[in-house]
Amino acid sequence: SLTNDSLMVRRRAAVAGGVGQIHPVFTERAENATVWDVEGREYIDFAGGIAVLNTGHLHPKVKAAVAEQLEKFSHTCFMVLGYESYVAVCEKLNQLVPGDFAKKSALFTSGSEAVENAIKVARAYTKRAGVIAFTSGYHGRTMAALALTGKVAPYSKGMGLMQANVFRAEFPCALHGVSEDDAMASIERIFKNDAEPSDIAAIILEPVQGEGGFYAATPGFMKRLRELCDREGIMLIADEVQTGAGRTGTFFAMEQMGVAADITTFAKSIAGGFPLSGITGRAEVMDAIGPGGLGGTYGGSPLACAAALAVIEVFEEEKLLERSNAIGQTIKSAIGELASRYPQIAEVRGLGSMIAIELMENGKPAPEYCPQVLTEARNRGLILLSCGTYGNVLRILVPITAPDEQIQRGLEIMAECFEAVLG
């Protein structure tokens, strides 16, 4: 029978080395916040497939919606023959994405693809080619998205220079000494040194940086970006691939920022474990590209659209936004108590249930602890993830539907791991 070790051996021989794997565990099945591996071991899932499972593994409603769709058809290609669910998802997103203006949407498959298409739309609408992205931002691994991703190793290491016309501003982060004034000044520096504002199509950022370390932009900073974009005719793109679908306690994080983006990307948890992404934006902006300029064979797959409509229903029925905030409070206060015991815990932060724990020593990022905590946690039956530009941040992306007992047990395991590694 299959073992994790034997599968790791086969994986190493068969799978390209560039495809990483954080935990040497192979999945047999999963349900809500529980995963069983091929050896029959059970784990609590605090990773959620990297922010994809806000409604848990195989939510019964999502599973039923996909099963029902499977009885009808799995694919036509929306660009060949339409189907209602694609239109319905766009209608829903046009309502859910913040912004008091007429909106339109387009659907794709991955987060990276959503980012690429947001840039295409911004370029077509503004007739400009420059993009400003931020230090430690993460926008994906396809070529144009990768150019926007603000971390070389491991993402673009060994691949040569990325696409030109991307300019890097500093993301504000008080903990690491970058103020909002510094961040704004870094944009002014780009305008002075590199490119006129009239050559910039878009400023793209994550309202809360995901892979970068769960650093949230403030409403004040977002307002300053909005004003700058309005003044210069630049599109503000909110990459909500990781923050979206309720993770931050509102359906989109931008709801908490007081201003709206012109274009919003979404993916991951929007379809509860099925591949769906998309962009929603001002109708006139979204219509800047003519027929045939947007799309993709699998974009807005009928199975994924059925899943997304079910996810949106589940959010309302199970009041998951409230629960996202409640879980976040529980986690923050439990870890906050531990923070007083271990000086290495420099900060416990996050919006809603997007919670991170940053580990530092002598005022500097301490990356050596994260892999140890991840291993200790896995050995105790908890799947955790790290992140951060310095690799020193633990992040929690537990399904919002996880039962209280499992969240409590996960937090107990984390406490044991901190004692083992930091104590």
List contacts with ligand PMP (CB under 6 A). Answer: 50, 110-112, 115, 138-140, 206, 210-211, 239, 241-242, 267
CA distance 203 to 241: 16
Q: Counting Cβ atoms within 10 Å, is residue 313 exposed (0-12), middle (13-18) or buried (19+)?
A: middle
Tokens encoding 249: 């306690």
Instruction: Enumerate residues 6+ apart whose C-beta is below 8 A from 276.
Output: 89, 107, 108, 109, 267, 270, 300, 301, 304, 305, 307, 308
Tokens encoding 412: 């107990």
Cβ neighbours of 131 (radius 10 Å):
26
Residue 11 CA: distances (Å) to CA of 24, 36, 48, 108: 10, 19, 22, 29
Q: Which is nearer to ligand PMP, 115 or 187 (CB)?
A: 115
Q: Which is nearer to ligand PMP, 197 or 281 (CB)?
A: 281
Q: Three-state DSSP class for 160?
A: coil
Q: Which is nearer to ligand PMP, 201 or 354 (CB)?
A: 354
Question: Smallest gap, in angstroms, from Cβ of residue 243 to ligand PMP?
Answer: 7
Q: Which is nearer to ligand PMP, 267 or 374 (CB)?
A: 267
* Contact criterion met (CB below 8 Å) for 46 and 334: no
Q: Which is nearer to ligand PMP, 110 or 386 (CB)?
A: 110
Residue nearest to ligand PMP (CB): 111
Q: Which is nearer to ligand PMP, 145 or 411 (CB)?
A: 145
Question: Smallest gap, in angstroms, from Cβ of residue 219 to ligand PMP?
Answer: 19
Closest by CA to 196, choosing from 204, 184, 205, 187, is 187
Question: Smallest gap, in angstroms, from Cβ of residue 2 to ligand PMP?
Answer: 27
Question: Smallest gap, in angstroms, from Cβ of residue 379 to ligand PMP?
Answer: 26
Closest by CA to 306, choosing from 92, 28, 163, 38, is 92
Question: Smallest gap, in angstroms, from Cβ of residue 215 to ligand PMP?
Answer: 12
For 156-161, the CB contacts below 8 A with 24+ separation are: none
Instruction: Enumerate residues 6+ apart whose C-beta is below 8 A from 9.
Output: none
CA distance 233 to 101: 17
Tokens encoding 61: 């409603």
CA distance 115 to 147: 11
Q: Which is nearer to ligand PMP, 213 or 302 (CB)?
A: 213
Q: Which is nearer to ligand PMP, 109 or 325 (CB)?
A: 109
CA distance 32 to 378: 18
Q: Which residues pair with 263 in a beta bridge?
A: 237, 281
Q: Which is nearer to ligand PMP, 260 or 417 (CB)?
A: 260
Question: Smallest gap, in angstroms, from Cβ of residue 265 to ligand PMP?
Answer: 7
CA distance 242 to 358: 18
Q: Which is nearer to ligand PMP, 112 or 406 (CB)?
A: 112
Closest by CA to 43, choosing from 381, 409, 400, is 381
Question: Smallest gap, in angstroms, from Cβ of residue 48 to ligand PMP?
Answer: 12
Question: Smallest gap, in angstroms, from Cβ of residue 167 to ligand PMP?
Answer: 18
Question: Smallest gap, in angstroms, from Cβ of residue 113 to ligand PMP?
Answer: 7
Question: Smallest gap, in angstroms, from Cβ of residue 138 to ligand PMP?
Answer: 5
CA distance 376 to 47: 15
